[in-house]
Structure 1
Amino acid sequence: MGNNTGGQGLKVGKTLTESDVVELSALSGFTPEKVREWHTGFMKDCPTGKLNKKKFIEVYKQFYPTGKAEKFCEYIFRAFDNDSSGSIDFCEFLIAISITAQQEPKKKLEWAFSMYDIDRNGFIEKKEMKKIMDAIFDLLGEERKGSNTPQLKVDQIFTRMDANGDGKLSKEEFISGCLQDDYLRRLLAPSAS
């Protein structure tokens, strides 16, 4: 379950071995120097080697000072916390950064799918999408009125994306729908545009 990062078995301690650097570089696509740089910064901010949800939300809220970021941050945190341990270790952090930093829209959309698939059953149901839309509206300080409500956005998304009409989105439907529709891609995965 969770994101298949390929590095879930890698346990990095407070210091990086040369083999850790080589493996993390291969997994993330970052140069060995960049891996070391990220690790130094991570350990400075998280001396225990773990980033807990509270600290993650505290840091993330700085990017959205006018919105309510807590709920959205919880969904992002869950998507980053591959092993559901309640904290993000350096390997999970680095893989998440590499996914969100890369240019390949499909990879970003795969990660976005994992965030929206709250129960991790391989599908996004309307109730899951509604929870995320509520969190996005809170994050951005969006007013809920007229045709601008989370439920209407969810209905529009499912009308456009649910190709087989089964009331849930598979990863393929989600990715295909976002790649074919600029509006949906910007709404659901802004960094994949």
Structure 2
Amino acid sequence: MECFIRTVDIVLLKEKTKFSEKEIRQWHAGFLHDCPTGKLNKKQLINVYRRFYPQGNVEPFCKYLFAAVDTNRDGKIDFVEYLSQIAAISHSDLNKRLSAAFDLYDISGDGQIDRKELTMLISALYELLGENDRKGNRDPKSRANEIIARLDKNGDKKLNKEEFIAGCQNDSVLRRVLAPTV
């Protein structure tokens, strides 16, 4: 069981996240409270999200979130991966936060979000929020088509990171839909 954080990790996290040593230690204590082994597996992430979204089905969203945060692909989220993601979505400038959102949505990791990826993620967000009204323009596929049509500047029917960030910067409604923590 990991009950301390290594000095080298504190130095790395201070540089990467801009959190103070005290803040890092506080986050670490909270992380260990939820994950006494010092590693968060997919099932534990789902259980954490269920506390925040009891009305929704958190599993589809957690699947994508877990894949994005588990950067070393070992099937577990360690504290460094966890706090790096927290910092990316809560603490950095708008471009970095939108970049983190894009990375979550780019399921294939090819540097682009296509309609299928966006449709799956919109569906996962609806599930997370317990949103059942999916008729007309609220249909995930229709919503994905509308978003891509609005943000796709080069006409390839996909969104690259630059298009995504620029589109969300210029449209507060899309920013709330696509990057709700931003």
- Normalised by the length of structure 1, the TM-score is 0.88
Provide the residue aligned with 1:160 in structure 2.
150
Gaps of 5+ in 2: none
Provide the residue aligned with 2:173 in structure 1.
183
Structure 1, residues 36-73: CA drift from partner, whole Å, max 9, x if none?
11112222322222100000011012111111111011
Gaps of 5+ in 1: 1-12
Pairing 1:29–2:5 present: no
Q: Which residue, 144, 151, 161 being the options, matches 1:171?
A: 161
Structure 1, residues 57-94: CA drift from partner, whole Å, max 9, x if none?
11012111111111011111111111121110010011
Alpha-carbon distance in 2 for matches of 1:183, 1:144: 18
CA offset at residue 103 of structure 1? 5.2
Q: How does 1:119-158 map to 2 (within 5 A)?
A: 119-142=108-131, 143-158=133-148
CA offset at residue 122 of structure 1? 0.8
Structure 1 ranges of 4+ moved more than 4 A:
none
Alpha-carbon distance in 2 for matches of 1:191, 1:139: 14
- More deviation, 35-44/108-117: 35-44
Number of residue pairs the alignment of both structures matches: 180
Structure 2 counterpart of 1:168, one-letter code: K
- Normalised by the length of structure 2, the TM-score is 0.93
Q: Which residue, 21, 29, 43 being the options, matches 1:54?
A: 43
CA contact 2:111–2:161 (8 Å) conserved in 1: yes
Provide the residue aligned with 1:44 in structure 2.
33
Alpha-carbon distance in 2 for matches of 1:109, 1:152: 22
Alpha-carbon distance in 2 for matches of 1:146, 1:45: 40
Alpha-carbon distance in 1 for matches of 2:117, 2:144: 10
Structure with more helix by fraction: 2
